[in-house]
């Protein structure tokens, strides 16, 4: 048997092995993601109910489901759109971590308030607390389950 021929065979098989090594690595990543997604069943974590909204958008009494991360603002890309002239493009973010809710001000012009107190960067919020962004007031409530 010719040495070069064997060398070529080895290289060919290694190349194919490399292709499958890549697929294997990817499958591991995919499985990890799947497991992570299964752990967050997408159940409702909380709700935000509109208490006051002078512009009418969103309507008073409207309820929004909250995920782990929710942004509020006037920008069309915000998760919850608040059409109020005193609300910034991306005004604040509500996040849920370690069974606790936090609100973070994203550098808004007019500031974010929890129960009347201004939020410096980030603040804890509990169920029943009221958030104020511009002229819009929202209340954090438990999940409807």
39-58 residues in contact with another protein (CB under 8 A) are: 42, 44, 57-58
Stretch that binds another protein, among 79-87, 110-118, 126-134 (CB under 8 A): 79-87
Q: String of b and e for 14-44 (b: at least 16 CB within 10 Å)?
A: eeeeeeeeeeeeeeeeeeeeeeeeeeeeeee
Gap between the terminal Cα atoms of the chain: 72
101 sits near another protein (criterion: CB under 8 A): no
Q: Applying CB under 8 A, which of residues 49, 51, 55, 81 lies at the interface with another protein?
A: 81
CA dihedral sign, ordered 75, 79, 81, 87: negative
131 sits near another protein (criterion: CB under 8 A): no
The DSSP symbol for 60 reads T
Residues that bind another protein (CB under 8 A): 1-2, 4-9, 11-16, 18-23, 25-26, 29-30, 33, 37, 42, 44, 57-58, 64-71, 75-81, 89-90, 93, 95-98, 100, 102, 104, 106-107, 120-124
């Amino acid at each position: 048997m010719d040495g070069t021929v064997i060398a070529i065979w080895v290289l060919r098989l290694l190349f194919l092995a490399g292709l499958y090594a890549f697929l294997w690595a990817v499958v591991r990543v995919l499985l990890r993601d799947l497991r992570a997604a299964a752990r967050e069943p997408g159940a409702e974590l909380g709700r935000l109910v509109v208490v006051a909204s002078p512009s009418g958008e969103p309507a008073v009494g409207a309820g929004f489901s909250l995920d782990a991360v929710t942004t509020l603002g006037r920008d069309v890309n915000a998760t919850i759109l608040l059409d109020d002239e005193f609300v910034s493009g991306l005004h604040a973010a509500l996040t849920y971590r370690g069974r606790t809710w936090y609100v973070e001000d994203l550098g808004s012009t007019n500031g974010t308030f929890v129960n009347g107190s201004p939020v410096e960067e980030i603040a804890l919020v509990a169920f029943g607390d009221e958030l104020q962004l511009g002229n819009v007031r929202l209340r954090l409530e438990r999940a409807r389950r």
